[in-house]
Amino acid sequence: MLPQAFKKQLAPILQDGFVLKRAVFQKCLELYPIAEWNILSAKVNKLNRFNKKNDEFIRRFNAGVKPVEVDGTGRVLVSKDLGVFAKLEKSIVVNAAFNILEIWDKDLYEKAIDDAAVDFADLAEEVMGDSDIPDGLS
């Protein structure tokens, strides 16, 4: 079930539907509004399928992709295979990641945050340092 705050923010796009998929780098799920998914799919669809690495990437990227809807009470039905992948058992965390939502097992989420805390300052400097900020954002 999505938290009430997320349901309010998603209200304008709830009727359009969503795509639920495995995350690439973490053991969590990503919930894409269909418009965001279409943008990402367009980029992936430009890859040449006759390149072996591209073909493997496309296959693995789309593994377990499921179109989903948020019902009237704010629930998202997670298929068994995706729930097993993300180890969703008891408590879950729904994390806003700008244009998508991440769905985590609570223990895995806390571990990922704790593990990342050690070098977050270095990562923040590397990613958001002055030389990498796009024009207009500095």
Looking at the chain, how many residues does it have? 138
CB 16, CB 34: distance < 8 Å: yes
pLDDT value at position 31? 94
pLDDT tens string 104-135: 999 999 998 887 766 777 777 887 876 655 55
pLDDT value at position 120? 74
Distances (CA, A) of 60 to 9, 11, 52, 69, 119: 30, 31, 12, 23, 29
Please, how many CA atoms are within 13 Å of residue 91, restricted to the half-sphere of its CB?
A: 6
pLDDT value at position 21? 96
> Nearest CA to 98 among 29, 31, 25?
31
| Fold of the domain built from segment(s) 4-106 | Chemotaxis protein chec (3.40.1550)
> Nearest CA to 31 among 92, 100, 94?
100
Per-residue pLDDT, averaged over 10-37, amounts to: 89
> Nearest CA to 49 among 37, 38, 59?
59
Q: Around Cβ 77, how many Cβ atoms within 10 Å? A: 12
Better-predicted residue by pLDDT, 91 or 125: 91
With residue 20 as reference, give the H or E element that holds it: strand 18-22
CB 68, CB 76: distance < 8 Å: yes
